[in-house]
Structure 1
Amino acid sequence: MPDVIFPLDSSKKFEDQEKVGHNRWHPEIPPVATVKPGDTFRVDCREWFDGAIVNDDSADDVLNAPLLTVHKLSGPFAVEGAKPGDLLVVDILDVGPIPQEDKGALAGQGWGYTGIFSRNNGGGFLVDQFPDAYKAIWDFTGQVATSRHVPEVSFEGLIHPGLMGTAPSAELLARWNKREGALIATDPNRVPPLALPPEGEHAVLGHLPRDQWERVGGEAARTAPPRENGGNQDIKNFSKGTRVFYPVFVDGANLSMGDLHFSQGDGEITFCGAIEMGGFLDLRVDLIKGGMETYGVSENAIFMPGRVDPRFSEWLAFSGTSVTLDGEQKYLDSHLSYQRACLHAIDYLTKFGYSPEQAYLLLGAAPIEGRLSGVVDIPNSCSTVYLPTAMFHFDVRPSSAGPHQVDPGIGAPRSANA
Structure 2
Amino acid sequence: MTAHRFIPTTLFNTIGSHPPALEIASGETVTAATADAHGFDHRGQKIGERPNPMTGPFFITGAEPGDTLKVTIRDIRMTRPTGWTYDTLSPNVVDPNAVPRFPERQKTEWLIEAAKGRARLAEPPAGLVRWSVPVEPMIGCFGVAPDLGQAISTATSGRHGGNMDYRGFRAGVEAMFPVFVPGALFFLGDVHAQQADGEIVGTGIETAAEVTFTAEVLKGLRIGWPRGDNGTEIFTVGNARPLDQALQHATTEMHDWLMAEHGLDEVAASHVMGQCVRYDVANVFNPAYSVACRIAKAALAGLR
| Letter paired with 1:266 | D
Identity of aligned residues (%): 26
Give the structure 2 partner of residue 83 of structure 1.
Answer: 64
Give the structure 2 partner of residue 270 of structure 1.
Answer: 201
Are the aligned partners of 1:47 and 1:259 in contact in 2 as well (CA < 8 Å)? Answer: yes
Corresponding position: 1:224 with 2:155: yes
Give the structure 2 partner of residue 249 of structure 1.
Answer: 180
- Counterparts of 1:51-200 in structure 2, within 5 Å, are 51=40, 69-98=50-79, 109-116=80-87, 125-126=93-94, 128=96, 129=99, 130=102, 132-141=104-113, 142=115, 143-147=117-121, 148-149=123-124, 150-170=128-148, 173=150
* Matched position secondary structure for 1:268: coil
Q: Deviations over 1:223-250 (max 9, x none)?
A: 1112110111101121110001110000
Structure 2 CA distance for partners of 1:257 and 1:50, relative to 1, 3 Å: same
| Letter paired with 1:71 | N
Corresponding position: 1:290 with 2:279: no
Give the structure 2 partner of residue 26 of structure 1.
Answer: 16
Are the aligned partners of 1:96 and 1:262 in contact in 2 as well (CA < 8 Å)? Answer: no
Higher share in strand: 2
Q: Deviations over 1:285-317 (max 9, x none)?
A: 11111111xxxx22x21001268xxxxxxxxxx
Are the aligned partners of 2:40 and 2:208 in contact in 1 as well (CA < 8 Å)? Answer: no
Give the structure 2 partner of residue 301 of structure 1.
Answer: 226
The alignment's TM-score, normalised by the length of structure 1, stands at 0.49
Q: Provide the C-alpha distance between the structure 2 equivalents of 1:83 and 1:161, rounded to a whole number of angstroms.
A: 25
Are the aligned partners of 1:164 and 1:231 in contact in 2 as well (CA < 8 Å)? Answer: yes
Q: Deviations over 1:46-95 (max 9, x none)?
A: 0010239x99xxxxxxxxxxx97322100000000000010101000000
Shift of the alpha carbon at 1:115?
Answer: 1.0
Give the structure 2 partner of residue 375 of structure 1.
Answer: none
Are the aligned partners of 1:116 and 1:271 in contact in 2 as well (CA < 8 Å)? Answer: no
Are the aligned partners of 1:246 and 1:301 in contact in 2 as well (CA < 8 Å)? Answer: yes
Structure 2 CA distance for partners of 1:21 and 1:5, relative to 1, 3 Å: farther
| Letter paired with 1:286 | E
Corresponding position: 1:45 with 2:34: yes
* Matched position secondary structure for 1:276: coil
- Counterparts of 1:316-331 in structure 2, within 5 Å, are none
Greater CA radius of gyration, 1 or 2?
1
Are the aligned partners of 1:234 and 1:268 in contact in 2 as well (CA < 8 Å)? Answer: yes
Q: Provide the C-alpha distance between the structure 2 equivalents of 1:253 and 1:6, rounded to a whole number of angstroms.
A: 18
Structure 2 CA distance for partners of 1:127 and 1:228, relative to 1, 3 Å: farther
Q: Provide the C-alpha distance between the structure 2 equivalents of 1:231 and 1:306, rounded to a whole number of angstroms.
A: 23
Are the aligned partners of 1:159 and 1:263 in contact in 2 as well (CA < 8 Å)? Answer: yes
The alignment's TM-score, normalised by the length of structure 2, stands at 0.66
Are the aligned partners of 1:124 and 1:271 in contact in 2 as well (CA < 8 Å)? Answer: no
Give the structure 2 partner of residue 394 of structure 1.
Answer: none
* Matched position secondary structure for 1:38: coil
* Matched position secondary structure for 2:65: coil
| Letter paired with 2:229 | M
Corresponding position: 1:238 with 2:219: no
Q: Provide the C-alpha distance between the structure 2 equivalents of 1:94 and 1:281, rounded to a whole number of angstroms.
A: 6
Aligned pairs, how many? 226
The more displaced of 257-266 and 135-144 is 135-144
| Letter paired with 2:109 | I
User: How large is the RMSD of aligned CA atoms in angstroms?
Assistant: 3.2
Shift of the alpha carbon at 1:135?
Answer: 3.0
Are the aligned partners of 2:72 and 2:213 in contact in 1 as well (CA < 8 Å)? Answer: yes
Are the aligned partners of 1:49 and 1:72 in contact in 2 as well (CA < 8 Å)? Answer: yes
Shift of the alpha carbon at 1:334?
Answer: 7.5
Shift of the alpha carbon at 1:3?
Answer: 4.5
Are the aligned partners of 1:118 and 1:132 in contact in 2 as well (CA < 8 Å)? Answer: no
Shift of the alpha carbon at 1:257?
Answer: 0.4
| Letter paired with 1:154 | S
Q: Which runs of 5+ in 2 are unaligned?
A: 233-242, 246-278, 282-304
Q: Provide the C-alpha distance between the structure 1 equivalents of 2:210 and 2:190, rounded to a whole number of angstroms.
A: 11
Q: Provide the C-alpha distance between the structure 2 equivalents of 1:252 and 1:39, rounded to a whole number of angstroms.
A: 14
